[in-house]
Structure formats: structure tokens, C-alpha cells
């Protein structure tokens, strides 16, 4: 339309219908520039460029248990009213996943309004992982750049002999910022838990409490009716039933 107006302003003798037919931009015309979409993504949306255009490194499964353990934190989208009746509790799943066996160890962190995951929550979860007879000290921990992971060294010092073993084996590897595929295994598992398991618990809001098939739109979400201890037990039970 802009090109038609420019032609008319320049004194074109063609009628508007004829100009519109000539100036119409079709798929054949724009298709010549499809390769430049990558340039546009690179310049305008670096996150999309990283996800869509950069090449990936394909990793095989580790040969030995606890050779590489992924660590991440995932929000649990289930509504649990706060004890004082104002608002809701914030729930986070602190998870460790062994690349070899695909076994996952989790801790449910419960926070009030305005609070986030703390370094002590991560340290406690790591302590449980190392002391679990089915786990132990990982050769390498693969984590993101979250500040909550900065106390892992101090946490390991609390466990006799663990810090020296951890240092000798491999230590911590941090994924590049905004690099979701680096921990694709555990991210995919979070999605499986949300869509295959957690959504069947009462109070599941799935990140958007205004768009639920289980509750009336515009009305308060029916939260989880059991105690907090019952909820944590239900989450741990579902994680244990998750297929490897």
C-alpha cells in the first residue's frame, strides 16, 4: 500500500487497481530473502538465534553412574494457599539427574511471597544427594549460572572427604548463559513431570491460572486440599514413578 501511494504521489498515470496489482508483494517475491531471516534473528533476537540456528553438539549417554550429574531448579505450578490465607506458597523443585542412569533426586523447597530459592536450599539438596546411598559424589556437576549455586564448595566442605574427592574428579561445569539445550535432558524431564504427572494433582495451574480446563475461568483456583507434607510426598512419589 505504501508503494502504491508513492507511485501516485510521483504522478503515475496508472489507475489505483492496476498499481495495487503491480505492487502486491507475494510469497515468490519475499521468498528470495528467506535466508536473511537468520541475519534478522541474529541482530534482533539473540535467544531465538541461539535456539534455532546455532549448531548443536550431540552427546551420548555417560558410561558410568554419577559421571555427569545435571542440576537445575524448576517451579512447581500448583496452587497451595499460604497458612495465613493471603496469597499462595511458592514451590521449587531442586533436582539432580544422573546422565547415565537417568535417575533423579529431588528436594521440594517451599517459600513465601517475595522469597526466592536460597543458596542454603541448594546446599541442603546437594548434601542429601552426596549422602544418599544410591547416589554419592558426582564426577562432574553440570549447572547453570544461577547465583544460588555459588555455595556448592562450602556445602561440600561440610561432608567429610567429599570436597577432596569432588576436586579430584572434575568439579563444576557451568552452562553458557541462556543455553537451555545444554541441560536438555533435565529440562525435558521437567516438561514430562509437569504434563504427565503434576497436572493431575489438584491445584495445578500450569503457569497460567486464567486458562484452565479443570476450573472455571475468572474464579479462584481450587488449591491443593491436603497438607504440605502430603503434597511433598505426592511429588516425590511421582518423580519416583517417572520413566527413566
For 25-45, what is each residue's pLDDT tens digit?
A: 888 888 888 889 999 999 998
Q: What pLDDT score was predicted for residue 155?
A: 57
Report yes or no: 145 and 177 within 8 Å, Cβ to Cβ: yes
pLDDT tens per residue, range 161-195? 555 555 555 577 777 666 666 676 888 888 888 88
| pLDDT greater than 70 at residue 53 | yes
Interatomic CA distance for residues 96 and 154, integer angstroms: 18
Q: What is the pLDDT of residue 14?
A: 92
Please give the pLDDT value at position 12. 92
pLDDT attached to residue 145: 66
Residue 219 has pLDDT above 80, yes or no: no
Give the Å distances, CA to CA, from 186 to 97, 139, 148, 189, 218.
7, 17, 18, 5, 34
In the prediction, which pLDDT does 228 show?
85
- Percent of the chain predicted with pLDDT > 90: 15
* Stated pTM of the model: 0.69
Quote the CA–CA distance of 61 and 176 in Å, as a whole number.
21
The Cα 71–Cα 104 span in angstroms is 10
Helix (H) or strand (E) holding 38: helix 37-44
pLDDT digits (tens, 9 = 90+) for 92-126: 999 999 999 999 999 998 887 777 788 788 888 88
Amino acid at each position: 500500500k505504501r508503494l502504491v501511494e508513492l507511485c501516485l504521489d510521483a504522478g503515475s498515470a496508472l489507475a489505483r487497481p492496476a498499481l495495487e496489482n503491480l505492487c502486491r508483494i507475494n510469497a515468490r517475491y519475499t521468498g528470495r530473502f528467506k535466508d536473511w531471516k537468520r541475519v534478522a534473528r541474529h541482530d534482533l533476537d539473540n535467544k531465538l538465534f541461539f535456539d534455532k540456528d546455532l549448531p548443536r553438539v550431540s552427546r551420548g549417554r555417560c558410561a558410568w553412574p554419577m559421571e555427569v550429574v545435571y542440576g537445575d531448579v524448576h517451579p512447581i505450578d500448583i496452587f497451595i494457599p499460604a497458612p495465613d490465607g493471603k496469597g499462595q506458597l511458592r514451590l521449587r523443585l531442586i533436582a539432580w539427574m544422573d546422565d547415565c542412569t537417568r535417575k533423579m533426586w529431588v528436594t521440594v523447597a517451599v517459600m513465601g511471597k517475595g522469597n526466592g530459592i536460597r543458596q542454603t536450599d541448594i546446599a541442603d539438596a546437594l548434601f542429601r544427594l552426596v549422602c544418599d546411598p544410591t547416589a554419592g559424589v558426582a564426577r562432574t556437576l553440570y549447572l547453570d549460572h544461577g547465583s544460588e549455586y555459588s555455595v556448592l564448595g562450602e556445602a561440600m566442605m561440610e561432608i567429610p572427604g567429599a570436597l577432596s574427592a569432588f576436586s579430584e574428579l572434575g568439579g563444576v561445569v557451568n552452562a553458557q548463559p541462556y543455553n537451555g539445550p545444554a541441560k536438555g535432558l533435565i529440562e525435558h524431564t521437567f516438561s514430562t513431570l509437569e504434563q504427565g504427572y503434576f497436572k493431575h494433582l489438584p491445584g495445578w495451574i500450569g503457569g497460567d491460572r486464567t486458562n484452565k480446563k479443570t476450573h472455571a475461568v475468572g474464579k479462584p483456583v481450587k488449591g491443593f486440599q491436603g497438607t504440605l507434607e502430603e503434597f511433598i510426598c505426592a511429588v516425590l512419589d511421582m518423580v519416583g514413578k517417572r520413566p527413566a
